[in-house]
């Protein structure tokens, strides 16, 4: 079956006009090359996917699927089932913390993740969604004068507040990057890890970043992914920010996470 024919057999439902789609009708552990090409193309088109019905996947199968995209990223926290490139993301009444701040994963690495995957093992009866924001739309929503101003700038990203053992010093990435596969420009700053603009004085940097943080996560650029047990969320860190919805209590939410590294440093 050709790539086009395989895509025609899927149930694909866009989440919003900005980004994202729900996908039903495939098993990521059984994809041939054409099937993988379909999923790859859908991710580039929509930025974030909710592939339902993947609860049968073992962690090994999830990792094997991730390695089809590239080298798996080692986060640095506790390994899951002995794999240092897999992470347990769990919140429950005893440990209610959810990463609800807008961010792009691990941009404090010189080679950060390009793709993140979360496999839902246990979800609350309501809430616990992941919210995404398109950084393509955020860049395109700037005035031409602002684009001209921010295009040549660089920003410092610092993760020492997250992992002082791994993050020894800030790293620099362009404020605006070019997606290496789509050729589209995207903002690449986030409130979690971007600390300052290299070329600006402190007060100028603070003012610009404050504007960009508010601008790049506005509602018109967003989509919300609602998990079911067995939902596999995949999103493109090169053009998407995300935040967890910390809107559930008294229940558990457990996700298994892997991420895939950029092939090279982000660039403009």
Write down the pLDDT at residue 164.
62
Single out the catalytic residue among 121, 242, 253, 256.
242
Asked if the structure places residue 32 within a domain, the reply is yes
Q: For 213-231, what is each residue's pLDDT tens digit?
A: 999 999 999 999 999 999 9
Asked if the structure places residue 92 within a domain, the reply is yes
Asked if the structure places residue 90 within a domain, the reply is yes
* Neighbour-count burial of 169, counting CB atoms closer than 10 A to its CB (0-12 exposed, 13-18 middle, 19+ buried): exposed
* Neighbour-count burial of 8, counting CB atoms closer than 10 A to its CB (0-12 exposed, 13-18 middle, 19+ buried): exposed
Write down the pLDDT at residue 1.
54
Single out the catalytic residue among 105, 109, 236, 256.
105
Asked if the structure places residue 255 within a domain, the reply is yes
Write down the pLDDT at residue 49.
98
Asked if the structure places residue 266 within a domain, the reply is no
Query: Distance (Å, rounded) from C-alpha 161 to C-alpha 226?
Result: 29
In the residue annotation, 257 being an active-site residue is answered as: yes
In the residue annotation, 253 being an active-site residue is answered as: no
Total number of domains in the chain: 1
pLDDT along the chain (268 residues), means of 10: 68 98 98 98 98 98 98 86 93 84 94 97 96 98 98 94 72 98 98 97 98 98 98 98 93 96 97
Structural domain boundaries enclosing 162: 1-261
Among 226, 181, 171, smallest CA distance to 69 is for 181
In the residue annotation, 242 being an active-site residue is answered as: yes
Asked if the structure places residue 267 within a domain, the reply is no
DSSP code string of 179-230: -TTT--EEE---TTTEEEETTS-HHHHHHHHHHHHHHHT-GGGEEEEPP-TT
Asked if the structure places residue 268 within a domain, the reply is no
Q: For 82-125, what is each residue's pLDDT tens digit?
A: 999 999 999 999 887 778 899 999 999 999 999 999 999 999 99
Asked if the structure places residue 191 within a domain, the reply is yes
Q: Both ends of the chain: CA-CA distance in Å?
A: 38
User: What CATH number has the domain bearing residue 99?
Assistant: 3.60.130.10
Single out the catalytic residue among 52, 75, 256, 257.
257
Write down the pLDDT at residue 142.
98
Which phi and psi angles does 236 have, rounded to 5°? -95, 105
Asked if 108 contacts 158 with a C-beta cutoff of 8 angstroms, the reply is yes
In the residue annotation, 85 being an active-site residue is answered as: no
Give the global pTM.
0.94
Single out the catalytic residue among 52, 63, 103, 256.
103
């Amino acid at each position: 079956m050709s790539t086009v024919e395989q895509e025609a057999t899927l149930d694909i439902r866009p989440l919003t006009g900005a980004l994202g789609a729900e996908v039903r009708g495939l098993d990521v552990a059984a994809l041939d090359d054409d099937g993988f090409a379909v999923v790859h193309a859908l991710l580039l088109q929509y930025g974030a996917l909710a592939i339902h019905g993947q609860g049968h996947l073992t962690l090994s199968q999830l990792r094997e699927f991730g390695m089809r995209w590239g080298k798996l990223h080692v986060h640095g926290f506790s390994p899951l089932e002995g794999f240092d490139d897999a992470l347990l993301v769990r919140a429950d009444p005893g440990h209610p913390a959810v990463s609800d701040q807008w961010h792009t994963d691990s941009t404090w690495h010189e080679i950060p993740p390009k793709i993140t995957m979360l496999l839902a093992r246990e979800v609350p009866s309501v809430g616990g969604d992941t919210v995404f924001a398109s950084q393509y739309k955020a860049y395109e929503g700037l005035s031409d004068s602002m684009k001209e101003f921010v295009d040549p700038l660089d920003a410092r990203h610092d993760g020492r507040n997250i992992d002082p053992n791994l993050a020894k010093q800030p790293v620099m990435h362009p404020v605006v990057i070019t997606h290496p596969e789509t050729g589209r420009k995207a903002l690449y700053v986030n409130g979690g890890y971007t600390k300052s603009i290299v070329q600006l004085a402190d007060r100028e940097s603070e003012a610009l970043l404050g504007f960009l943080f508010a601008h790049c996560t506005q509602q018109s650029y967003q989509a919300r992914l609602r998990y079911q047990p067995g939902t596999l969320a995949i999103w493109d860190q090169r053009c998407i920010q995300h935040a967890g919805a910390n809107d559930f209590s008294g229940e558990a939410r457990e996700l298994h996470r892997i991420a895939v590294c950029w092939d090279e440093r982000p660039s403009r």
